[in-house]
Chain A
Amino acid sequence: MPWADRRHTDFAAAFAAPLLDPERPTPHGVNGPGAKAARSRYGVYRNNVTISLIDALSDTFPAVERIVGRDFFREMARLFVRAHPPTSPLLFEYGHALADFIDRFEPAATMPWLGDVARIERAWLDAYHAPDAEPLRPEALGAIGPESLGSAVFQPHPALHILRSSHPAVTIFSANRRQEPVGRISERAGEDALITRPHLEVFVRILPPGGAAFLMALRSGQPLADAAAHAFDAEPQFDLAANIAGMLEAGAFASVAINPPSHSEESLR
């Protein structure tokens, strides 16, 4: 690094190293006034760093915190902050690694769905800050003749997120993001989440059977006919009309275009 040869580089390196490492002593050359010790004074910085980052995670993952309780969450977050400190000054970008961390976090092993709830919360915030774009209007799709519909290709809305879970993660997420008390959750089946932000408000929906396969295929640029075939393969009960209506209502896509005629029209059958 070009600045490494400057003498005073040392001050930042020496000051920073113990901030997230409680085992390290107070940095050399840092003092209180007169002969005063710096331990509790330097401790203010340690405290500010750790607490503010735990608070940032608490702001981003309120459902996870509500599920595990404040003490559990803050202890888990403290370990996460030390293992994965932020590398961007934008705190709303922090915590993308938390879901994987939770999956491996031994004390959370009895809550196998917790990581997926964290994934939904992280995607919720990504959608919240995503670029603005008008969602696709149903009329735009209606204007396409039936003969061309199979080759329609959709441009994803910038806020679109699709998450697949083998747990009832959306139900658990929703129950813990409301003010009301959380009752017994009887769902057991896996749930796929559709996260959108057509205007300013973020919406999280449970996708119907085959919906995730369908939307993920569309998102990757496959024409409508191919995506539908893919969804039917994944889930024989896939309801094409209902899924198209659902994705329009949710604002999952921003625009639609017709691919040049190709083999895709054949695959509609």
Chain B
Amino acid sequence: MRGRTEEIREGRIMQATSRGSSRFPAFEIEGRAGASLKHSHIEAILADGAPVGFFEVHAENYMGAGGAPHAILERIRRDYPVLLHGVCMSIGAPQPLDTEHLERFNRLVERYEPAIVSEHLAWSTHGDVFYNDLLPLPYTRETLTTVCEHIDQVQERIARPILLENPSTYVAFDESDYTETDFIREIAGRTGCGLLLDVNNVFVSAINHGFSALQYLATFPLEEVGEIHLAGHREQTDDEGDRLLIDSHDGPVADAVWKLYEIVLGRCGPIPTLIEWDGDIPDWRTLKGEAQAAQAILERHAARSATGHGYANAVG
């Protein structure tokens, strides 16, 4: 039982970014940009040849028993790497993980052999109520312990490390005694999980909490990053009439976020990058255009960097 967790912590079991299997051909996601898979795009994608490097799906959308969702994902999986992004594991909650949900999650990992498995530093269930949002947690010694226990439990069950995503938040907790980047660094060190750096989340949180996004990135453990997320956000105002950014995933990536992305790649080299788009879904051409913009930046940085970093390059 402890053996596998130890192996993950020591980095001896890695994300299977390019591992082929008996059921799926080996796909390479290193240095590639991908897009969120939306069912309204499926015909356009299939007519389009090989338009992006990979597709990422929200795990919960494929937790039904059968029918069209699995038929679509099976079809996509024949031709593309698939990344599995969990949204509702509630890793940051103080209460125990829902083991039924973990079993469903594991079945998807086994069925689709995703190139990357990721989840959030957040919680969404309290008691038996599911709130359908990525809710924030205080960064304390106690929450650190629980989060690490939960990640160990997930990694143990799926027999591979996950990437943990940095959150976007609108409030902070008085009781926090770690900075977010220190908290995340501790988690990665203790559990052996990798990190999913959502650059839009960094920008959103930086504006909302009045810190410098560059300073955040300077203290973020970039060497653990195996995937990057880019997405659009919206603007509203807080009680004082100041700008408050909402992590809405319903529009194009903002210029400031592209700039931060360039800075991250400049430090880390090319890392698989997802364009997330979950609301006001545009036509496929628009979403593909965003992924191609990311791909162009990745290729510029690939040409520049001779050596790779992070999980995506660690498995050959």
| A interface with B by C-beta (< 8 Å) | 1-3, 6-9, 11-13, 15-16, 19-20, 29-34, 36-42, 44-45, 48-49, 52-53, 56, 85-92, 128-133, 158-159, 197, 200
Contacts and interface: CB of A to CB of B under 8 A. Distances in A.
Contact of A41 (B101, B132, B174, B244): B244
Q: Which 8 A-B pairs have the closest CB atoms?
A: A129-B64, A89-B88, A132-B66, A16-B126, A131-B65, A37-B239, A8-B142, A48-B133
Contact of B132 (A52, A130, A131): A52
Interface stretch (B90-98, B151-159, B217-225, B299-307): B90-98
B132 A32 contact: no
Given A33-B209, A128-B68, A13 B132 contact: no
A85 B124 CA distance: 12
B140 to A, nearest CB: 6
Contact of A8 (B63, B130, B135, B140): B140
Nearest to A10: B94
Interface string B207-221: 011110000000000
B131 A3 contact: no
Nearest to B100: A88
A130 B67 contact: yes
A174 B2 CA distance: 55
A32 B238 contact: yes
Given A85-B130, A87-B130, A29 B124 contact: no
A32 B133 contact: no
Contacts, number: 159
Contacts of A38: 171, 239
Interface residues of B, number: 57
B138 interface: yes
Nearest to B209: A33
A154 to B, nearest CB: 20
Contact of B170 (A45, A92, A130, A159): A45
Nearest to A34: B210
Contacts of A11: 94, 137-138, 143, 173, 175
Most buried by A among B64, B209, B244: B64
B67 A200 contact: yes
B201 to A, nearest CB: 14
